[in-house]
Structures are given as C-alpha cells and as structure tokens.
Amino acid sequence: MKQFEVPNGYRSPLITAIKQKRKADDKLKKDFSPTLLDLGTVQFYLARHFGFCYGVENAINIAYKTIEENQGKRIYLLSEMIHNPQVNADLIQKGVKFLHDTNGNSIIPLDELNSNDVVMIPAFGTTLELEKIINDKGIEIQKYNTTCPFVEKVWNRSEQIAKKGYSIIIHGKPKHEETRATFSHAASNTPTLIVNDMNETKMLGAFILGKLSETDFIQYFEKRYSNGFNPTLDLEKIGVVNQTTQLATDTQAISDYLKNIMVEKYGIEHIESHFAETRDTLCYATNDNQSAVIGLLETTADLAIVMGGKNSSNSSHLVELCEQKLPTYFIDDASKIIDEYEIISNDWKTKNAIKVNNYIPKKSVVKILMTSGASCPDAVVESSIQKIAGYFGKQNELEQLANEWMEY
C-alpha cells in the first residue's frame, strides 16, 4: 500500500515500532490480540489496529502539499478535512480557512471566493451540488481533492447498483459530511433513501410490507429521500450501501433485515430481482479497528480510553463497543487527563464533555485498554500513555520499554 509523508509531529516512535513489529509478525492480520506495555503497577493494552488510516494519511499528504505549492494564495477547505482537532487546528495555523462547519452551515460565504483561490475537498468528499458551485467560480476543485478512496468506492458501488435499476438505501448518519456526500452522488443516478439505524430500518420494512401508509412514510423519512422519490415504486428493487465508518455489525444487520423483508414480500425465488447483494462497503480501517477492539475486550481490565475527535464517527463506535464491557473514557488529547483523579470525557452520543472523578481505581495493578480512531495521531496516544505512566512514577520504565521496542 502506498506510503505518505505525514508531519513528524503526528508520529510516535514507540507506537510506530510496535505497529511495525506486529505487522511483520502477523502479515495476514489474523491476530487481534492487544499489545501489552507492562509497567508493573500499571499495564496498558494497545489494540492491534488503531490510528491513522490510508484515507487520513492521503488527505493530510495532499493538504500539506497544497499549502506548500500555493504560498501567497487564499486556501480553503469545504469543511473540516477530518474529524480531529489537532490536525484541523494545525491547518488553521498554517492559514487554511474552513467554508462550512461539520453540519454544512456556512462559515465564510461562497460569494467571497474568486478564481484565484484554492479550495480543497475534505476526506469525507462533498456533494455534487457544492462541487458545481465551486467549479462555476472558475476554481479547479478536483485538483485538490482529499476524498478517501474508500468513500469513492461506495459511490462507485452505488452507481453499479443504480445501472441495474436498484434504488439505494444508505446506512448512515444523515447529518454526517460523508453521508451527505454519498447521498448526493447516489441520488444523481437513482432514487435514494437514508436510514440511520435499525429502528428506522424496521419502519422502512413495515412500509414495504404495506403496514404503513405513504403518508406515514413521508412524515417519518422527511428530508431523508431524493427528489421525486416514489416510495411505492422505488422500494421494489433496493440495494444497501453505507457510511464507511458505521459499525460493521449494524450495517450487516440492516442489510440482512431488508433482504428478509424482500423475501417475505416477493419470495426467495425472486430475491435477486428485488435485492442487490453488495459486499460490505466499510473501509478496511473501520473493519480492522472494530475487530481489534473486539479482540482487545477479551482482556480483563479496569477501564478503557478511546482517543479521537468528538465528532469522529469511527471513534464513537469504538467507544460504543468498549463501554458495553467496562468504564470507557473518550478524549481527544492528553490535556483531558487532568490528573490521576480526574478526566474529562466526551459523551459519544451527545458530544457533551463530562468531568469524571476517580477514574483510575485504587488497585495494586491497574489495567487500561487503549485505542484510537482512524483520524487520531499516534502522538496523541503516546502522550496519554506517558501522562498516566507518570502518575504511577513509571516514566523511566516506559522510556526503557520504548527503547526495547525500537530495537526490534
């Protein structure tokens, strides 16, 4: 896989050494057991896979090259490039300005742009409508496109399904930038609808089976379907794709549920004419990170720490998995670890910050599970490990352990 130039400030010598050793020992990625950093009175268990993915490194690489090649020009991003506060803050410090917030609300009016400006597409992609507005201003937006290749893969899958006459059902968070972009691309080819979760999917299934009226459908899925969507006709042939960072188990369950609905309505002998079998459209990093957390949770521990931006979908799902088993704290950097008694954690559902006291139990040996989202720099993870190790007086042991890993 292609390697990218990523600023050293995002790297961690310790974690890089660990990842390289684990990769060399497990080239087929079949071992999802965690890596133990044993410091005696505190033990850190690192997930087999975490941190920057291909798409994020690709986006960072393009963004920094764009800045370097366009000195003196005004440089904009359509929205946050990725959901990570450190990376976005660094881009702002280098002069990049965001045109929209994560919900698509305008920060800088597009009327202020001119043909001499540089505009980058974020890793989530963008809508065809917004892309056209920028292009009509004489700005070559595709020249600086950081869209993740795995997001584009979903768009291509949607187009393939559309050509066979299927409508698209997107499993995604309706307000997320990636879902909005995927909706725009899919809707340009075929009738398209967004479902957020299984509850909404069951409502959709009830309509398909004639248990809900068209009025109910329109009210329930308002603003979730494409222009001209005819629920009676357009739900006779469907295929499911997703926002790439959703929980794999959730997407599979939604796809299976809708397939069973179509079997119930049309019969198993006609299913291929009414339901498009699609391979999972989650990106490899989402799959790997979620599988690694499942492996991580087989370890008995006292708490888990998940690092990532509070708006990061893939990070939030890692928190969701961890908190089913043990106390879990969701932070974006080491500054949220106030001291050995207090931590400020983000609620992955509401995005609100919550102050938690006595998060580290008083035990002779404390075991901590650690992972991070695909847009979180490894340096953030290492700094958090260093900070907690310091509370146990284990800085020297951690440094020695790091040197041993880097000697492999």
Catalytic residue among 178, 200, 320, 382: 178
CA–CA distance from 111 to each of 32, 227, 315, 334, 386 (Å)? 50, 26, 35, 39, 47
Catalytic site includes residue 57? no
Question: Which residue, 69, 31, 64, is CA-closest to 48?
Answer: 31
Q: Please name the amino acid found at residue 399.
A: E
Return the DSSP state at 100: B
Rounded Cα distance between 64 and 381, Å, is 22
Rounded Cα distance between 246 and 244, Å, is 6
Give the dihedral of Cα atoms 291, 295, 298, 303; nearest 10 deg. Answer: -80
Return the DSSP state at 177: H
Rounded Cα distance between 383 and 338, Å, is 13
What residues contact residue 396 under an 8 Å CB cut-off, 6+ apart? Answer: none
Asked if residues 244 and 281 have their Cβ atoms less than 8 Å apart, the reply is: yes
Catalytic residue numbers?
178
